[in-house]
Each structure stands twice: as C-alpha cells, then as structure tokens.
Structure 1
Amino acid sequence: MPKIVDHAARREELARAVWRLVGREGIEAATVRGVAAESGWSMGAVRHYFATHRDLLAFAGEVMAQRVADRVLALYAEADPHEGGASDRRFERGCTALEQLLPLDEERRVELVVWLAYMTRARTDHHLDRLRQDGWVGERFICRTAVADARGLPLPTSVEARLDAEGEALVDRLQIGLDGLSLLSATYPERWPATEVRAAARRLLMETRPDPMSECGG
C-alpha cells in the first residue's frame, strides 16, 4: 500500500525551517538551499512544493500570521459579539489578545523577530506586499477588538467594522504604542523582559478605558 503523504504538514515543516533560519541568521539565510539544509530535505523536494524562493517566503509568512490570528480567534471563540458593558474580565481578555503580538515567550519572540525581518524585506520586495497589507489589517483588528473590550463596547465582527471616531482615535494610539513596544522589546530584549512587556501592554490598553469621572459628568 503506498505511503500517504501529508502535503500540508510538509509545507508547514518547510515554513518552520524558514522561521528558524530567519530568526537565527536573518532573512537572507532563508534561501532554497538554506531551507533544504535546515529541514533535511533535498533542494528538489523543496522545489516540489514551492516553485520559487519568493513563494516559499510568502507562504512561511502567511502561516506565521495565521498562527497569531488563530490564537486570537480561539480567545474569542465563545464571546458574544453584542456583549456590552466594561468589566475586569473583558479588560483581561483584551490584554491577552494584545499579548499574542508580543515576545512573551520563545515562540512569540521568534514570530516577532521574523515578522520584523519580513516587513523590512517588504519595502523592496513587492511579492510580500500583500502580507504587509494583511498584517496591518490584522493587527488593527486585534487592537480594535481590545479597545472594544476595554471600553465595554460590542465587539467588531469583521475587519471592516469600525468604532466611533473617539474609539478609532484610541485604536490609533494603541496600535502606535504596541508597535513601539514590539520594536523595542525585539531590539533590546535584555532591557525588556516578558514581565515588563506585559505590564507596558496593560498600561497602553488601560489608557483607552473610559474615565469614570467623565461618565458621571464630573
């Protein structure tokens, strides 16, 4: 009986080899030859799944982005999108959503380092432009969802959904702050341990919560 090959698993195995190389040596190391050596495959086997180096890079980036999205989707799997009212539970959930984008463990550290390398490459490689654009939309959606949780608003049900003008301004501020935190913590990990990164993310989201005094007319 012929052996059944799980092609999806093989493609993901190659994606993981790309991540390891990029995280360890930079995106320039993730050539077809380099990925073949890292994965223990022949170059012909790699090319069987990916016709070009650019296809391989793009696929690896898409899988990584989907991993982050899947973690956030799992977090909100049981959520009622029409839920209203602020609560500590919702605030904590919003914090946890933001944490999926930050280097709080080795897995997420590698994801962030690799993602930053991809975004640098995307400036000059238009084949990665869709990944760059989708990454912005995805991050924006996560930030918008976290702000909705922090402010006790109904959750956005699609990436096209918007909060009101005040809410979107707060999403702007949160996304800018989160990107700065991501860059600093990836560049200076010795100065930004996970505990400090987590605390900083909480402060950023806390700043989007409504002022109780203003709600009381004070």
Structure 2
Amino acid sequence: MPKIVDHEQRRAELGAAVRRVVARSGVGGATVRAVATESGWSMGALRYYFATQSEMLDFAVSAMLDDIPARMQIVLETQEPGIERAQAVLEEMLPLDEDRLAEVRVYLAFMARVRTEDGRPGLAQQTWHGERHVCGLAIADVTGLDHPTQVGVIPAALVSAVDELQVFVDGLSFLGATLPAQLTPSKSRALLRARLDSLAR
C-alpha cells in the first residue's frame, strides 16, 4: 500500500526544526541542509515545502501562526477569566523556555527582513493584529471590560491599554531573546505580573 503522508504533522515538525536551527545558529545558519539534518527529513522532502531560505523562514513563521494560537486557545478554554489566565496567555509570546525562545528568534529574524524585497508585509501585519488581539483579551480578563471578539478590531475602551501592553510585551520578547542573561524567564514573568497588577487597579 502507498505510504500515507500526514502533511500537517510534517509541516509542524519542519516548522519546529527551522525554529531550533535559527535559535541555535541564526538565520545565516538555517540552510535547507541544516534543517534537513535537524528534522531527519531528506533535502528532497524539504524542497516540497520550500526552495529557498526566505521561503523557509516564511514557512516557520506561518507554522508559528498556527502553533501559538492553538496553545493560547487551550489556556483560554481551561482557565477561568482573571489575572492568572491573562498572565498565562501572554507568556505564550515570551521566550521563557527553549521552544519559545526559538519562536521569538525566528519572529525577530522574520521581522528584520519585512521591509526588504523578499519580505512578507502581509504576514507581518497578521502577526501584529494577532498580538494586539491577545493583549486585548488579557486586558479584558484583568479589568472585566468586554473582550475583543474579532482579530483586527479592538474595542475603543481597550485601545490605549492595548497599545501600551503590546509595546511592553514586545520589549520583554526582544530583550529576553537577545539578552537572556540580563532578562531571565523568572524576571520576565515578574515584570509581566507587575504590569498586569497595575492594570487591575
């Protein structure tokens, strides 16, 4: 019988492999050959999904846009609204372990080339709106205000707070990924909690 290929599973595996290679070796080291070695797939199999390094980075970011919201959805469905849930859902965007550190480094590498000829501004806008939506959900959890229901549409009462929280979370992500010795996961968690506590007052 012909072998049945689970493309969604393979896509997830390859996306994770790209993230690990970028986190370890940077974008320059994330060649198709390196990712093939990391994932255990042949180079021919990888060429089915992407032919160039730029396509590979786009692929990894696209996979993240599936993976991270899925993890957040589990948090939203299994925890009661409140500051603990707000903290947990925002932590999914922070480099608090090896997997999330890899995600953030891939994201930063992707954003660095958004304005170049081979950039993907549409995908960048998608990540930006998604991040704002999550910030809006977290703020609503903390304050008791109405939750945003549509990605890309932030209720007027939340806009100012979302602007500030998004910049704050992005700062934690950037510094945690680039200066992890100075901004450790425990310090990031404490700073985020202090920020949410201030919103709750």
TM-score, structure 2 normalization: 0.88
Q: Which has the larger radius of gyration?
A: 1
Q: 1:160 to 1:40 in 2, by over 3 A?
A: closer
Residue 113 (structure 2) pairs with residue 115 (structure 1): no
Equivalent residue pairs, number: 201
What does 1:88-127 align with in structure 2 at a 5 Å threshold? 90-127=82-119
Deviations 1:114-156 (A, max 9, x none): 2112211223254422221111111100111111111101211
Contact 2:113 2:119 in 1 (8 A): no
Secondary structure at 2:113 match in 1? helix
Residue 162 (structure 2) pairs with residue 185 (structure 1): no
Q: 1:92 to 1:120 in 2, by over 3 A?
A: same
Amino acid at match of 2:71: R
Q: CA RMSD in A?
A: 2.2
Contact 1:27 1:118 in 2 (8 A): no
Secondary structure at 1:9 match in 2? helix
Contact 2:94 2:101 in 1 (8 A): yes
CA distance in 1, matches of 2:179, 2:107: 16
Contact 2:60 2:106 in 1 (8 A): no
Q: Which runs of 5+ in 2 are unaligned?
A: none
Residue 78 of structure 1: how far off its partner (Å)? 6.3
CA distance in 2, matches of 1:149, 1:108: 23
Amino acid at match of 1:63: A
What does 1:10-159 align with in structure 2 at a 5 Å threshold? 10-77=10-77, 90-159=82-151
The percentage of aligned residue pairs carrying the same residue is 45
Secondary structure at 1:208 match in 2? helix
CA distance in 1, matches of 2:35, 2:173: 27
Contact 1:13 1:39 in 2 (8 A): yes
Contact 2:104 2:173 in 1 (8 A): yes
CA distance in 1, matches of 2:144, 2:26: 41
CA distance in 2, matches of 1:190, 1:45: 37
Which of 6-15 and 189-198 deviates more?
Answer: 6-15
